[in-house]
Structure 1
Amino acid sequence: MKIVILDTNCANLLSVKCAIEKLGYHPIITNDASTISNANKLLIPGVGSAIGIMKQLSQKKLIQVIQDITCPVLGICLGMQVLSSFSEESNGINMLNIIDTPVKLLDTKHFPLPHTGWNQVIFDNCNHPLFKNILSGSWFYFIHSYAFPIHHYTIAKSFYQEYFSSVIQKNNFFGVQFHPEKSGSNGKKLLLNFLEM
């Protein structure tokens, strides 16, 4: 199985690669369009800014490649947000528009941003294959200020002064707002479930 981690030039590339290797798989990190198109599984990690990741994808001519891909795709944190239609970050930027919903700044009232640390993830469907052997309400590690609101493609949610989408799915595209590679045994299980789907 060809597991590809999209080279978004972000800080968590190696930690995602290491987490997958510990599961017994051998992923490659690349921004080569042909390799990405022929992947069996594609992971899109992201740490940084919406403008930064979209600039990277545009410069590498990968926008259409990702939009057209048919294998299972897992976006992580900013890699999930890139699947949206638009992000409010930095006065607004168009994203990949795979999911026709904008990403918005969390309305946390007096709570600090970014939302950083452990939080519970509540599943809409505990029988979803991505959540196999993981209990609804399990804890995962987050660090973000923007998020998908609850919408049609939400399959799990979390609460930080408001509910937001912590896991989404549209067809072969999945996204997790948390960092599974930093989320201990639950994160390992989720990554393994994605790889074995």
Structure 2
Amino acid sequence: MDPFLSLLHSFSSSLADKELSSMKFLCQEKIGKRKLESVQSGVELFTILLEQQDITRDNVAFLEEMLRDIKREDLLSKLKQFVGEGEVKASADQPDPHEKRLQRVAMEVICDNVSRNWRMLMRKLEFCDVKMDRIVDANPRDQREQLFQSLREWQRWRGREAKVADLIAALRGCSMNLVADIVEQELSLLDNGPR
């Protein structure tokens, strides 16, 4: 069983009706009114937020904010403990900090310079269409965000195996040589600049 889902389920079980109402109120900008009206439990609310990727295993900032706003410090503390333990366990699978910095720069350049053909790039990186569709549904009018979230998901999926070299190779494989050149240029500036 997924420990993160178990944690959310336990949160849902401990929410009073008034707290659930407050959380629904805080979600108005993220979830449509009709969808929110049908939510009857924390599990239903968390399911929508997970589907829209407003909360993920790696990004619990919005959930933290909601728990803080409804004054549930006990749940906030459990969440922080979970994240802390998760980071310790996951650190072995994460790229080293220098590689992460390079990836962040590369991803920014790619998002600034790749638009219409971003799906072709993601397929070249062997990223799944179903995940891309889910990301598009969560960000229907923001192509840059669709690409950025897809790259972040690719990065999480690949873990330590995610390399900037793969991004550059995929760009070149899609005949996006100019973007690949810009990425390489930015990375060389980063490597030669102050640390």
TM-score above 0.5: no
Higher relative contact order (CA 8 A, sep 6+): 2
Q: More strand by proportion, 1 or 2?
A: 1
Larger of the two Rg values belongs to structure: 2
Normalising by the residue count of structure 2, what TM-score does the alignment of the two structures yield? 0.28
